[in-house]
C-alpha cells in the first residue's frame, strides 16, 4: 500500500510539473478576435494576457462606439482564451490522474 501511495505522489508531482509547463506554453498560444466589421482587432494569449489592439481610425472618432466595441470584442477573446486554457489544463490533469475505482469523474 505504501508503494502505491509513493507512486501516486510521484505521479501527482509529475502532473503538477506538466501543468506548469502547459501554462507557460499557453503564453505563446495567440488568439485573434475582431469586431464583426473588422474595425477593432484584439490579440490575446491563451492565458488571457492582451498582446495587441488595433483600432481603425473611424472608430477613434466615436468614443462611445469604441468603448462598446472594446467590451464586446475583449469579452469574446477572453471567452475563447478561457476555453483553450481550460481544455489544455484539463487534458494534462486527466492524463495524470491515477485510476481510483469510483473516481471516474475526470473521464
Residue 65 to residue 69: CA distance in whole angstroms? 6
Return the pLDDT at 102. Answer: 54
DSSP 99: -
Q: pLDDT-derived band of residue 98, with 50, 70 and 90 as boundaries? A: low
Taking residues 93-101, report their average pLDDT.
Answer: 66
Q: What global pTM score does this model have?
A: 0.75
| pLDDT higher than 70, residue 20 | yes
DSSP 54: E
Residues shown for the chain: 107
Amino acid at each position: 500500500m505504501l508503494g502505491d501511495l509513493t507512486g501516486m505522489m510521484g505521479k501527482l508531482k509529475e502532473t503538477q510539473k506538466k501543468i506548469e509547463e502547459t501554462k507557460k506554453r499557453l503564453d505563446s498560444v495567440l488568439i485573434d478576435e475582431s469586431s464583426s466589421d473588422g474595425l477593432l482587432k484584439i490579440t490575446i494569449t491563451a492565458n488571457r494576457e492582451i498582446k495587441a489592439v488595433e483600432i481603425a481610425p473611424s472608430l477613434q472618432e466615436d468614443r462611445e462606439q469604441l468603448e462598446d466595441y472594446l467590451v464586446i470584442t475583449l469579452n469574446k477573446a477572453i471567452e475563447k482564451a478561457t476555453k483553450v486554457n481550460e481544455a489544455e489544463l484539463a487534458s494534462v490533469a486527466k492524463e495524470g490522474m491515477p485510476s481510483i475505482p469510483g473516481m471516474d469523474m475526470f473521464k
